[in-house]
Structure 1
């Protein structure tokens, strides 16, 4: 069976979806849509529609929705009503209430509703989760993330919390196989828009792990780092390069005073792991396909996406930003 797939939203992210969708085995990208046209030349030989209704009428089994966040609910509900499996870009919707309506619509119809939290599919984080599950780190104490970079002019309808911090919320809960118990945050607005540009958050998961997130789009340096500290050492995952490094707790005693001053009284092994590195977007699409076919459920469900949005809104509430 070959799944007929469609794409709505041909902006910066949509063009990458189209590129990857053309190469997903067992699927065929048959049409695309965008009310604003095709600025990046994504359609090529495919039919180009203006509305989701036209895309549905053309006949599709599954659709990727890469329209602005504020349109997720409207487009998603139409796709659910038509019986079309859908993956919406993160966050699931502009508000928790809208996300609840979306998740309910897909769940009630027995459809696969997925959310594009792509960081879960980064090979460094997938390898990190495998090693945490295997007990290499022992008890996990803390997860700290840093997600910084220049301002993305393409983002207009949400702030840095819903656009970027949702990545860190999702991956942190996923790595630890649990939910957030509490979250506190401080935000600032620098660019003059109504939305926040920087957030620093601290919280705790239900299993007791403490977390902190530093996220902004004000930095001249782009950084995507996840640091997990535990009983046996520290993992550092760089999702820009998909590298994973393990700093083992020290066991070798140092008697060289100058070195001890810089590195501590003991030293442990430092290992950068080698493992297969497939493009995360391709892995994400394969997970969406497999969920539709009933093979595996490694996609990010709308229920999970909704929980991530709840935590994001909790950050904003804690910082008194509505």
Structure 2
């Protein structure tokens, strides 16, 4: 089997994670990595024992595919250049900061017959892949994605974190949006906290909260539908069990002349265990499988554009409160979490 030749452009936290996982895929040869920081490049190439270049164009002619993990503001120009050079691309989310740029990249990749995949790693979490089989008629969805995260500074928290939950919820609702209300807080036009309420034509209401200011890492989704509540914690990518509360009912307490009547609930609690796999490795293996023509995409480019369109709309319609510089203690060092 001829191995697919891969390069990684941008070897910060996420890019290094990509490179490490590529080294674990037998069908891949990691040709080298690129980063504009000579110091960072020296550290990573020494760790990985692969060649490194400061100019990403050095990969042209050497590789078949590239993982692009540079700051979001650089996604469009680098992706455009690499696609024109005939290289298949996996671009970390968000693919671009504007819908127009994303649409141009999508059209170009299709015209050139190249794979362009957006790095929505949550799609490869075992629990997210199982959700469509469990969610039938959602009435209320509550997503929270919070934590001290200083890795991304060139985009707001909606494009940085909330877009994960936007993508998940749009995949579960399949309904037009009738009401959208978004508030945020941040500095210099970039929100570090945002909360969105979405009312769908189906009657479902979704509330999404994202924050880079919290000192507690929270990655949860709660789904209420007739007869049950589904709860999942995404905080540990290797432990993705569902907790499902079914058939809940309550006898309400009343007071009559000082006499109190007890309340009690009758609920069946079921825990659904998921198969443990590394989601980034699954994502990269899927990408390579698409390049080799062995698998169909689990999501289309239109799915990616749909999530980006809503995220950009949220930013445009958001009521943003400018706040003074926040001195948030960094009690937890940011890692490679989504």
TM-score (norm 1): 0.88
Cα distance between partner residues in 2 of 1:55 and 1:206:
48
Larger Rg, first or second structure (1 or 2): 2
Cα distance between partner residues in 1 of 2:88 and 2:175:
26
Tell me the CA shift for residue 140 of structure 1: 1.9
Conserved? CA contact 2:150–2:212, under 8 Å: no
Which residue of 75, 78, 98 maps to 1:72?
75
Tell me the CA shift for residue 123 of structure 1: 1.5
Instruction: Give 1:306's aligned residue.
Output: 305
Instruction: Give 1:282's aligned residue.
Output: 281
After TM superposition, where is structure 1 displaced by more than 6 Å over at least 4 residues in a row? 251-255
Cα distance between partner residues in 2 of 1:181 and 1:295:
39
Cα distance between partner residues in 2 of 1:103 and 1:259:
62
Tell me the CA shift for residue 260 of structure 1: 4.9
Conserved? CA contact 2:142–2:223, under 8 Å: yes
Cα distance between partner residues in 2 of 1:92 and 1:206:
28
RMSD: 2.5
SS in 1 for 2:183: strand
2:57 paired with 1:53:
yes
Runs of 5+ unmatched residues, structure 1: 133-137
Which residue of 161, 166, 170 maps to 2:167?
170
Conserved? CA contact 1:201–1:212, under 8 Å: yes
Instruction: Give 1:216's aligned residue.
Output: 211
Tell me the CA shift for residue 119 of structure 1: 1.1
Instruction: Give 2:193's aligned residue.
Output: 198
Deviation string, structure 1 residues 159-209 (Cα, Å, up to 9, x no partner): 1111011111111112345665653201111xx444111111011346543
Tell me the CA shift for residue 83 of structure 1: 1.6
SS in 2 for 1:294: coil
Deviation string, structure 1 residues 268-307 (Cα, Å, up to 9, x no partner): 2111212211011111112212222223234444432222
Cα distance between partner residues in 2 of 1:259 and 1:293:
66
Conserved? CA contact 2:182–2:319, under 8 Å: no
